[in-house]
Structure 1
Amino acid sequence: MITSLLKEVGRGKRGARDLTYNEALQAAEWIVNLEATQAQIGAFFMAERIKMESVEELEAFVNVCRSQARREHVQEGIDCAGPYDGRKKSFYATFATSFVLAAAGLPVTLHGTATLPPKWGITLQDLLLELGINPKQLSQEASLEAARETGVLFVPAEEWCPPLKRLHGLREEMGMRTVLNTAEKLVDYGHSPYLAFGVYHNTVFDRMSKLLTNLNYKKALIIQGTEGSEDLFIERPTRTYQVENGEASLQIIDPDAYGLELPPPEVDWTPAEQIAVTEAVLNGGGHLAFMNQVLLNAAVRLHLAERVDSIEEGLYTCKDLIDNGTAWELYVKWKVSLLISEQQQPLHKTTVTTP
């Protein structure tokens, strides 16, 4: 049982050893299937946090989650993988960016859950709730249909990956990061060849680059972004690692190099304010710092996914898609599609207002 493996990872900072991939796979299966007790699962997560998870251990948890999740070849695009504990102090640029990318012909997968520790911030699910869409009542087929129509797939992760739902309560009680904080972002619901992956600390660049290589993404960008997200800063350079063909290279992306650097205003962020700024940007307005942040993030991701030959070309492409209203129209189409699908759910009523 898991006790034997727990002894190996729980011998303290100096005495603990990394599990082999097969050992970690067994531990992950026991944990996600709740074949271990709550105390054993909590102890394992704590021990791994102290020891620091190895690449093999992370990969095992990712693969077990993937094996129990619904994953669809609905689109060959980019997965935008930010922290599930949300935002507290920054604009959710990746949300607006997704509709610009889809308008440019690059499908996008977004995913998340209700807020989690350690940050307990605003999540993508909170943004959908603000739009009148309840992710927990959103059918998988409705999400897939909206993706086919618009190129943007939103996945309520706990509805598509049951292990995450089983362990949500325990993670809330623990109130700290666990191996799942990484694994949940890499379930890859859309089988995306490209990945934008947010991290908090540059000390994990090497481990994450090896992990993403093992997971066989065609190209991935590891981003030490705002609040540990996949969003590039607009007021200063961002450290990133590009992973391709088993090689990782450090890339500093400086908004000043493209004439975009601008300090964003301080905002008391709420879900309503996040949506208001998102819609302002997609309509071609709002504070210039937020517009620039969306343009930079979209251009870099288009370049990563080989849709444009340079970031500069990506900036021109994305600016045109916002200026001519294409990105806004796609956002409205996606939102209305999900609102209509929710209206059709039994025992749930909502009013659909077409923007």
Structure 2
Amino acid sequence: MNMTEVLKEVGRGKRGARDLGFEEAVAAAKMIFDQSATPAQIGAFFLAERIKMESVDELYAFVNACRSHAIRFPRPDSLDCAGPYDGRKSSFMASFAAAFVLASAGLPVTLHGTESLPPKWGITLPDVLREMGIDEGVRGREQTIRAAQQTGVLFVPAESWCPPLGRLRQIRVELGLRTILNTVEKLADYSHSPYLVYGVFHNTMFDRTAQLLQRLDYRKALIVQGAEGSEDVYVDRPTRTYLVENGNAKLHLIDPETYGLESSLPDITWTAAKQLHVTETVLTGEAHMAFINQTILNAGLRLHLAGLFDSVEEGVYTSKSLLEGKSPWQLFCRWREALSDAQVNSL
């Protein structure tokens, strides 16, 4: 099946288009990731899929293709935090601060992302790292892995570890729209993690994502309809989540009031510098209490997800205690130093 034949099937409009079978989707994914299809064909496929909406078979085929092109560094019992690659415009990146709380509790964490992408064009983790003085040096895999081995926190620049994502960037930029890659790239699973927390934006993605994750063999996965489609649960209102475990998906409502953490968020104009400042002040205990509470809630929830504690309450209590003891801040400083050393050594 060539790309012209694929487009004839998926490009007939919302009523006439049909979903590709799994083997057909595998062929389409191969042509796109290998770029044996032309840029015009790839762009047409992305638009047709957006109109039709991707099936679970199609998503599964593209995730497998993405993983087959990715460099993957196994980290047993780790947690993968799959946030939006198109970044943030109006919310705090609680996952970044929470990663150091989790690592302090003994849970390895993998974060990943790229420079900003459409449709949101928000602030991303690479923007925050640049504010820390860490830029190209973070792309050195050996040094990045060494920093993770020293601290428990791994950051993966996805377009470096999965080169086809970098080669497809220009097409995505020119389209300016969400594509199938917005879902797929977050599931490259760079650490072979058994635990996943995955952000979605729309209610319509819950069931489809749950079906997909059941086929990807995670031990436990939490789908979160979080701030700006992120994996971060809210601290000022309840958050809809789906827990995927043992082939089943169950709806759970995470209410911060249940844990005594509900807080009103201050009005902030977010920049990369502000994201970094709030992260650092959360870890030193000097931030607005809403951001401290949001970090505690997200960390506690994930410690329970990964089986380190029998309840979210225990995870919340431990996260609060760790923050008060400053061990996550010390770990953050070690991580920053390790990546800064990596940058110096790469020059």
Shared fold (TM-score, shorter chain, > 0.5)? yes
**What's the counterpart of residue 254 of structure 2?**
253
In 1: Cα distance, 2:122 partner to 2:193 partner: 26
Match of 1:296 in 2: 297
Cα distance in structure 2, aligned partners of 1:317 and 1:339: 30
For the Cα contact (< 8 Å) 2:75–2:108, is it kept in 1?
Answer: no
Please tell me the root mean square deviation across aligned C-alpha atoms, in Å. Answer: 0.8
**Contact 1:295–1:319 (8 Å) recurs in 2:** yes
User: Who is 2:215 aligned against?
Assistant: 214
| Counterpart position of 2:130 | 129
Q: TM-score, normalised by structure 1?
A: 0.96
> Which position in structure 1 is the counterpart of 2:322?
321
CA distance in 2, matches of 1:281, 1:137: 23
* Alignment size in residue pairs: 346
Alpha carbons of structure 1 residues 159 and 275: separation in structure 2 relative to 1, 3 Å: same
Q: Secondary structure at the match of 1:58?
A: helix
Q: 1:136 to 1:64 in 2, by over 3 A?
A: farther
Aligned-partner SS, 1:344: helix
Deviation per residue, 1:39-69 (Å, 9 max, x gap)? 1111000000000000010111111010011
Per the TM alignment, residue 75 of structure 1 is displaced from its structure 2 partner at its CA by: 4.2
SS where residue 155 of structure 1 aligns? strand
Q: Which residue does the alignment assign to 2:86?
A: 85
1:10 matched to which residue of 2? 11
- For 1:1-355, what aligned pairs fall within 5 Å after superposition? 1-135=2-136, 138-346=139-347
Cα displacement string for residues 268-299 of structure 1 (whole angstroms, at most 9, x for unaligned residues): 11111111100001011210000000000000
Q: CA deviation at 1:74?
A: 3.3
Equivalent residue of 2:111, what SS? strand
User: Does the 8 A contact of 2:83 with 2:199 survive in 1?
Assistant: yes
> Which amino acid is the alignment partner of residue 318 of structure 2?
T
Kindly state the Cα deviation for residue 137 of structure 1 after the two structures are TM-superposed. 5.4
Change (3 A) 1:107 1:63: same
Q: 1: distance between equivalents of 2:321 and 2:256? A: 19
1:76 Cα shift?
A: 2.6
For the residues of structure 1 that align with 2:340 and 2:204, how far apart are their CA atoms? 42
Q: Deviation digits for residues 19-58 of structure 1, max 9, x if unmatched?
A: 0111001001101111111111110000000000000101
The answer to whether the 8 Å contact 2:10/2:17 transfers is: yes
Deviations 1:67-91 (A, max 9, x none): 0110011343100001100000000
Structure 1 residues 163 and 279, CA, compared in 2 at 3 Å: closer, same or farther? same
Q: Deviations over 1:217-256 (max 9, x none)?
A: 0000000000000000010000000000110000000001
Contact 1:114 1:123 in 2 (8 A): yes
The answer to whether the 8 A contact 1:138-1:341 is kept is no
Change (3 A) 1:337 1:77: same
Question: Deviation of residue 138 (structure 1)?
Answer: 2.5
Give 1:108's aligned amino acid.
V
CA contact (8 A) 2:26 2:65 kept: yes
Distance verdict in 2 for CA 1:57–1:331, change over 3 Å: same
Partners of 1:17 and 1:328 in 2: CA distance:
51
Identity of aligned residues (%): 60
Give the secondary-structure state (helix, strand or coil) at the position aligned to 1:28: helix
- In 2: Cα distance, 1:219 partner to 1:334 partner: 27
Contact 1:74 1:144 in 2 (8 A): no
Structure 2 gap ranges (5+): none
Does the CA contact (< 8 Å) of 2:138 and 2:342 recur in 1?
no
**Is the partner of 1:331 in helix, strand or coil?**
helix
